[in-house]
Structure 1
Amino acid sequence: MINDYLLRLAMELKATGYSFTTVTPATHARVNSRLKNAWARNATDIFGWSRPFKEGIITPKLFEAMRKADVLDTYGAGWISRVRASTLRGQLFLHSAYPTTASDAIFFGPDTYRFANAIAQCLSGDVCVRRAVDIGCGAGPGAVVVALERPQAAVFAVDINDMALRYTAVNARLAGTTRVVAQHSDLLDGVDGDFDLIIANPPYLLDAQERTYRHGGGSFGEGLSLAIAGLAKTRLAPGGTLLLYTGTAITAGTDRFIASVAQIFDDSLLEWHYQELDPDVFGEELDEPAYAETDRIAAVLLTARRARS
């Protein structure tokens, strides 16, 4: 599962002290459109802003690591990287370069930071975690945060995207977390047992191209999120917690996602809490036909806990 050359590239980049906070695609496009940003001037421009670069911008050692990892594409008189690197909570994560247009692209952005912070907040107290799973792990930040906060826990990182599993394996090794298992799974198919912690930051948009990292399905992108919420009823161990970070379309002031969640948990032994974290995310999506009647898209956090008996 581990791509040794990709891991060596990540280690080489991390050793330089590299740091980059990933912004929204809309902000990224605006910043990159400035004339002075047409070509990279340093490693941050190459691996963070996904700008093309010419010879001599990075050290020969780092360039050779990119070549061996097979992440270079030619671009005019220079090259451009197919991988991107972001830092989060002191760790470095490789993921797909901007723009994430490929069907198997691995997205990383502001949602990822909010998701990671929510996990850390959840685990800041005396929460026992023996087995945990990150559903739709992407580049693996959720799984890695859990593994760092609970080093003795067995942490599963599952995804239907094999590219995501390769990135997760590299990023987990880079963070020094040895108990993260990257496994191919559709939701939790083929993954046995109950979990003390289920976390997920699934796709929650309606994407016309139905790209894996964006398309949530359902009537307004909620399909996958509701399926994960349903798993809490059957796969949480006694006392276990679901932490679901997702988005919801608000139409005429109504959040239909919370109504659907209430129906799922109506006859269960779960206590749940729902919080709107950001009232307005991915505003550019409102131009799409699928959101013609939508007022806004909000980022929300659903927490559900199973009774101990």
Structure 2
Amino acid sequence: MTRLNRPLLHLGQALHARAYRFTSVTPLTQQRVNARPQSAWATDLAGVFGWSRPFQRDTVGEELFGLMEGAGVLRELEGGWLSTVRWSSLDDELYVHSCYPTLQADAVFFGPDSYRFAQAIGQHLRQHQPERLHRVLDIGCGAGPGALVVARACPAAEVLAVDINPLALEYTEVNARLAGIGNLRTLRSDLLASIGGQFDLILSNPPYMLDPQGRVYRDGGGELGTGLALAIIDEALAQLAPGGCLLLYTGVAMVAGRDPLLEYCKNTLAEGDFLWSYREMDPDVFGEQLLEPGYEAVERIAAVVLTVTRSWRE
């Protein structure tokens, strides 16, 4: 269990009490909105904690400023300050994550993929029987949206959120406590390396980009960013309980109409006691990535959802 950052939790509680809300956007949208002349400085809480703009002390007030100082999330600038964390809304909950731009190696990302991931989980739970879930695992939990969605929907289940990034686990702990969730615990692990036992549901939203900086939230490795997704499929299937399901949300770079993740699934899942489905949730995401090195032949990046269910036969 990760040690709870109580000052950061108190900051989140204060923002929640002020009915703060913010919808996270893509980095390109964030860049374009912040480039407007009127966006140079924050004038409200959304500007400070959502758009990551520099601000004056009186913009947040003394109480919030003191909480930020206590949580260690203030960076002094010439003539003002910057919050080193952002707070974003998903349904009625707030999630702390890294400020924009997410340049640090241990940055914790929350954005449009988080909303799509939560939608995929919600749809899965509506189509199945969540009361039958006793043990759930979220691999690479990040800020924890996947784990929290399941923990809230299935209060009797034990939900384990794992990540290789200690900062991600710290933020997930804060977000779970802020949401009043008590059936979730965190553990540091490189995929399933430190995890034993079987699970009724395994979730993952792995990174799927090529990233020269090697940031853990973004770099998927392998062929055009599919490496982590393939590794998760291989490791997770071995730890599914009978009737258990893997729900994987990720992105795939398409080249000449070819979907390498779908091809892998057809080859890997053709044999064995598994039923699976695969669909494109969004055919075209993060188009700005196609301008980056390594993407010269990529036509589009699609957001996809894979579900794999183990047969009840043992």
Question: Which whole-Å CA distance do the structure 2 matches of 1:53 and 1:268 have between them?
Answer: 57
Deviations 1:242-289, CA, capped at 9 Å, x for gaps: 110001011011111110122221222110000001111111111112
C-alpha displacement at 1:232, in angstroms? 3.4
Give distance in 1, aligned partners of 2:140 and 2:56.
36
Cα shift readout 1:218-242 (whole Å, capped 9, x = no counterpart):
0110010011111232110011111
Pick from 96, 99, 114: which aligns with 2:101?
Answer: 99
Q: Which residue is equivalent to 2:183?
A: 179
1:152 equivalent to 2:156? Answer yes
SS in structure 2 at match of 1:123: helix
**What does residue range 137-286 of structure 1 map to in structure 2 within 5 Å?**
137-286=141-290
Q: Is 2:14 aligned against 1:23? A: no
State the secondary structure of the residue aligned to 1:65: helix
Instruction: Tell me the secondary structure at the aligned position of residue 114 of structure 2.
Output: helix
The one-letter code sitting in structure 2 at the alignment partner of 1:208 is P
CA RMSD of aligned residues (A): 0.8
Instruction: Indicate the SS of the match to 2:224.
Output: coil
Give the TM-score taking structure 2 as reference length: 0.97
- Letter of the 1:178 counterpart: G
2: CA distance, partners of 1:11 / 1:77: 28
- Matches of 1:196 and 1:60, distance apart in 2: 47
Paired residues of 2:237 and 2:246 also in contact (CA < 8 A): no
CA distance in 2, matches of 1:263, 1:298: 20
Q: Does structure 1 residue 39 correspond to structure 2 residue 41?
A: yes
- Find the aligned partners of 2:268 and 2:17 in 1 and give their Cα distance: 47
Structure 2 spans left out of the alignment, 5+ residues: none
Match of 1:290 among 272, 281, 294: 294
Secondary structure, aligned partner of 1:11: helix
**Maintained 8 Å contact 1:232/1:304:** no
Aligned sequence identity (%): 52
Conserved? CA contact 2:158–2:183, under 8 Å: yes
Count of equivalent residues: 309
Q: Distance in 1 between matches of 2:8 and 2:89?
A: 16
Q: Which residue pairs with 2:136 in the alignment?
A: 132
Residue 4 of structure 1 corresponds to which residue in structure 2? 6
Measure, in 2, the Cα distance between the counterparts of 1:181 and 1:188.
15
Distance of 1:27 and 1:110 partners within structure 2: 11
Aligned equivalents of 1:255, 1:90: Cα separation in 2: 36
Instruction: Report the equivalent of 1:89.
Output: 91
Q: TM-score, normalised by structure 1?
A: 0.98
1:31-70 deviations in Å (ceiling 9; x for gaps): 0000000000011110000001012111211110000000
Q: What is the CA distance between 1:185 and its match in structure 2?
A: 0.4
Q: Note if contact 1:233-1:268 (Cα within 8 Å) is conserved in structure 2.
A: no
Which runs of 5 or more residues in structure 1 are unaligned?
none
Give the counterpart letter for 2:198 in structure 1: D
Secondary structure of the corresponding residue to residue 284 of structure 1: helix
